[in-house]
Amino acid sequence: FVNKLHKATTIHWHGIRIDIKMDGVPFLSQAPIQPGESFLYDFVCPDAGTFWYHPHMHSVEQLGKGLVGALIVEENDPPSFDEDIIIGLKDWRLDRQGQFLPLSLPRHAARAGTMGTVETVNGKIKPVINAPAGGLLRLRFLNLDNSRVYHLSLKDFESYIIAIDGSPVKTPRVMGTHDIGAGMRLDIVLRMPEQSGQDVLIYDKKGRGHFELCRLQSTAPLRALKKATVKALPANPLATLNLEQAETRHFAFEWAGALSPVDSAGKVKDVFWTINRRAWEGMNAASVPAPLATLALGKTYIFELHNATPHGHPIHMHGLIFTVLSSDKREIEPFESDTILLERNERAKIAFVADNPGRWMFHCHVIEHMKTGLMGYITIA
C-alpha cells in the first residue's frame, strides 16, 4: 500500500480473522503510514465471504469521502450462481453544488450520527442493475456508510439470507426486512423473474414506507443458466465454542451526555459515549490506553452487551468472529458475525473462542460514535 494522501493512514481489513500485525490499526497494530510511505499488507484469509476494507485513521473524513471497498473471499469450492452482484450502500454529504458538507456535526455525533444527503448504490443514485432472466443471483449488500442503518427489504419478492456479515448461516433464512448498520453485510439469494424486462426492487423500509435503493432488471441471458438451487454456503472453519466452561464479561454502552472536556491543548473535545463508564481516550505513539478486557488464548468467552443508550449501535470486533446467542429484543437463531447491531436498550449475548492472539479493537461502527468515545480494545494473550 502506498499512501498518496496528504495525511497519515492505515488500511483495516474488516471481518478478516487476520494476523494482528496486518490489522491496520494505528499504534495498536502498526505505525501510521505517513504521506509518501508504503506498507506491505500480507495476510491469509481463513474464511470465505463478503468483507470490506477501509482506513482506520482520520476515519470520519477518509471513509466519509469514499476510501472504502468490498473484499470478497471466494469459497474453495465456489457455489454456482448465475450472477454474483455487489451492492455497496453509501451516502455522501454534499451540497447542491456537489461540494462536501461538514462530515460530522456534534449534535448528530451525540445521537444517531451525521447522515449523508445523497444516497447511492455502487456510487450511483438508484441504479438499474442488469441480471439474467430466470437466473439464480447472489447479492452481496455492504453498508459502507459512516452512520446509516439500512432496513433492507424486497417486499414480497422471494429471497433467502445465506450469510450475515460474511459468515454463512446454517440454513438459508427467508428474507423479510433485515437491518444492517454501518460496516455490516448481508448475502442473499434470489431467482430473477423468467421474462426479460421485469424488475426486482430493493428497498430501504422506513416505518411503513418503502424507498427504492436500486432495481435489478431481467435481461435475456447470454449463456445457459446453471441449474443451481438455494442452498447453504459451506461453513467457515471457526473453533467450537465451549459454553459450559465459558467466562462471562459485561459491557455497557452508555450515553455520556455532552461532557466536552478540554484536552491538553485546551481544545474542547466532544465525548458523548462510553463503554463500561469509560470513553476512549485516543492513542498515539507514546501511549496506548489500557484494554477493556484481557482474555486467555484458547478460552471461550461470553460477552453480555447492554446498549443503555437511546440509539442503535453496530458494535464490531476485530480479528475474531463471534456467535450471536440471544437478545432480549428478538428471537435469535444463533448466527456468526463480526458486528452486532444493538438497538436502543437492547441486551444481547455473544460468544467466541479467543483463538487469535493480539489487541483487537472493539467499537461502534458509527464512525462518529467511535471518535467520540465508543471504542476500546480487548487483549488476547
Residues that bind Cu ion (CB under 5 A): 14, 313, 318, 364, 366, 369
Is the Cβ–Cβ distance between 240 and 292 less than 8 Å? Answer: no
Task: Tell me whether residue 45 is exposed, middle or buried, using C-beta atoms within 10 angstroms of its C-beta: 0 to 12, 13 to 18, 19 or more.
Answer: middle
Cβ at position 317, least distance to ligand C2O in Å: 9
Q: Does residue 183 interact with ligand C2O by CB under 6 A?
A: yes
Q: Select from 111, 311, 316, 371 the one that contacts ligand C2O (CB under 6 A).
A: 316
DSSP per residue, 108-149? HHTTT-PPPSEEEETTBSS-EEEEETT-EEEEEEEE--SSPP
Partner in contact with 363, chosen from Cu ion, ligand C2O, none, beta carbon below 5 to 8 Å by kind: ligand C2O
Cα 337 to chain centroid distance, Å, stands at 9
Is the Cβ–Cβ distance between 179 and 91 less than 8 Å? Answer: no
Q: Minimal CA–CA distance to 317: which of 377, 266, 231?
A: 377
Q: Does residue 363 interact with ligand C2O by CB under 6 A?
A: yes
Q: Which helix (H) or strand (E) holds 305?
A: strand 300-308
Cβ at position 232, least distance to ligand C2O in Å: 26
Q: Does residue 58 interact with ligand C2O by CB under 6 A?
A: no
- The stretch near ligand C2O (CB under 6 A) out of 169-177, 229-237, 329-337, 357-365 is 357-365
Q: Which is nearer to Cu ion, 137 or 380 (CB)?
A: 380
Coil/strand/helix, residue 243: helix
Cβ at position 278, least distance to ligand C2O in Å: 18
In angstroms, rounded to a whole number, what is the distance separating the alpha carbons of residues 87 and 67?
Answer: 16
Q: Select from 58, 191, 311, 318 the one that contacts ligand C2O (CB under 6 A).
A: 318
- The stretch near ligand C2O (CB under 6 A) out of 68-76, 92-100, 341-349, 358-366 is 358-366
Residues near ligand C2O (CB under 6 A) are 12, 14, 54, 56, 183, 316, 318, 361, 363, 365
